[in-house]
Amino acid sequence: MIRPQDLPVDRVLDVFRLADDAGFDHMWLPDHILSLGDLDRPIFDGWTVLGAAATVTKRVRIGLHVTGNLYRHPSMLAKQAVTVDHLSGGRLEMGLGAGWKEVEFQTLGIPFPPTARERIERLGEACVVLKSLWTQARSNFAGQYYQLSDAIGEPKPLQRPHPPLWIGGSGLKRTLRIVAREADVWSTDAATPEDEQTAWRALDEHCNTIGRDPASIRRCVQIRWADRKGLPSAAVGDLASDIDAVRRAVERYVGLGYTEIILMVNAGDGPTIMKLADLYARQVLPRVRG
pLDDT at 49: 96
Is residue 1, in this structure, part of any structural domain at all?
Answer: no
More confident call, 18 vs 132: 132
> Reduced to 3 states, what is the DSSP secondary structure of residue 286?
helix
Q: What is the CATH number of the domain that holds 262?
A: 3.20.20.30
Is there a domain that residue 4 lies in? Answer: no
Question: CA quadruple 82, 34, 7, 28: dihedral positive or negative?
Answer: negative
Tell whether 272 is covered by a domain: yes
- Domain assignment present for residue 2? The answer is no
Comparing 236 with 76, which gets the higher pLDDT? 76
Percent of the chain with pLDDT over 90: 63
pLDDT at 274: 75
> For residue 232, what pLDDT is reported?
41
DSSP H or E stretch at residue 285: helix 285-288
188/82: higher pLDDT: 82
pLDDT band of 5, cuts 50, 70, 90: low
Residue 230 has pLDDT above 60, yes or no: no
pLDDT grade for 29, boundaries at 50, 70 and 90: very high
Residue 226 lies in a domain: yes
Is 3 part of any domain?
no
User: Per-residue pLDDT tens for 180-206?
Assistant: 999 999 998 766 767 888 999 999 999
Determine how many CB atoms are found less than 10 A away from the CB of residue 130. Answer: 24
Which residues 6+ apart lie within 8 Å of 114 measured at CB?
A: none
Virtual CA dihedral for 29, 30, 31, 37, nearest 10 degrees? -140
**256 or 142: which carries more pLDDT confidence?**
142
Q: How many domains does the chain have?
A: 1
281/13: higher pLDDT: 13
Q: For residues 138-159, give the mean pLDDT.
A: 98
What pLDDT shows up at residue 229? Answer: 43
What CA–CA distance (Å, rounded) separates 97 from 68? Answer: 5
Residue 158's contacts (CB-CB under 8 Å, 6 or more residues apart) are 85, 86, 89, 90
Q: Tens digits of per-residue pLDDT, 160-177?
A: 999 999 999 989 999 999
Q: Confidence class of residue 278 from pLDDT cuts 50, 70 and 90? A: confident
- Per-residue pLDDT of 60-72, as tens digits, reads 999 999 999 999 9
Amino acid identity, residue 83? T
Which of 11-20, 38-47, 87-96, 218-227 is the least confident region? 218-227
Structural domain including 244 reads 9-288
Domain-embedded: residue 36? yes
In order of 125, 147, 174, 193, 287, the CA distances from 144 in angstroms are: 8, 8, 16, 36, 48
Mean pLDDT over the full length of the chain: 88
* C-alpha span between 187 and 6 (Å, rounded): 26
Check whether 101 has a pLDDT greater than 60: yes
Cβ contacts of 215 within 8 Å, gap of 6 or more: none
